[in-house]
Structure 1
Amino acid sequence: MLRVPTFDGSIGLGRLDTMVVRLATLSMATIFGGIHCLAWFFTFVTHQEQLLWHICALGITGTPWLFFCVAFTFGAASPGLLRQLNIPIGLLCIILYVTARAILLVLMFTTLRHLPGDAYQAVSWIGLVPHL
């Protein structure tokens, strides 16, 4: 065949391949949330903004785990009640994740209103190049 397949779902993945893709997605989402948790001890303008950052950073770190557990672990081997709660809990996880990401985006821009004085100093780049 001389054509590149598209990602329209026509490529069949085995059970092991599907699990590897799911775990890779989960680990990347956890790493992304962990990067936001690195700002845990940064200074914020107000205590409320710092608390909101902490909550949202934990939210985008933990929500993929909750979604993974509900959708892929409890969904397949659970009795009727848990299986019926799969879709609402999954939608709630998605809404929480998107909301936390949006709040973090807004917080990133609002913290620019109160920068330390060193942020306004001009850098003498010529002094940093050793051969000039």
Structure 2
Amino acid sequence: MSKSSTSNEHALVAIANMRRIRRQRGISTQKLADQITAKGVQISRSTIVNQETRRSETASMTIDQAIGLCRVLDITLDDLIDPALCETCHGGPPSGFTCNTCGRRSRRTNRAVENAVERLVDSDPPPADLAARVIERRNET
């Protein structure tokens, strides 16, 4: 498999995931374009529509577009190009939530859990039983 076909396959998966997540969250193509542009990446509604409907000969997504999209949808690049997404959250639960089906947390939720664990571990004296349970649960994910 050539390098260009691998890149195109990743782009196709990323675009399919973008569309699923966007639709699941009820975000219009115009609103998505506006939010990505607000994050510093210029993209138009027509570009997103063309990507999603594959009107162009070869589907493509720039790195900047992918990063802007991930910031807006609060997902990682791995989530964006992962073809095996959860049917419930499609790899991107809303910010601050955890998917009940796959257990995937939004990045904001992960940060909140990490901060809570640090506070528990750093408290004097640390609540040994509680901290151990929280750390164990964190390691499960």
Q: Relative contact order, CA 8 A, sep 6+: which one is greater? A: 1
TM-score (norm. length: structure 2): 0.29
TM-score (norm. length: structure 1): 0.31
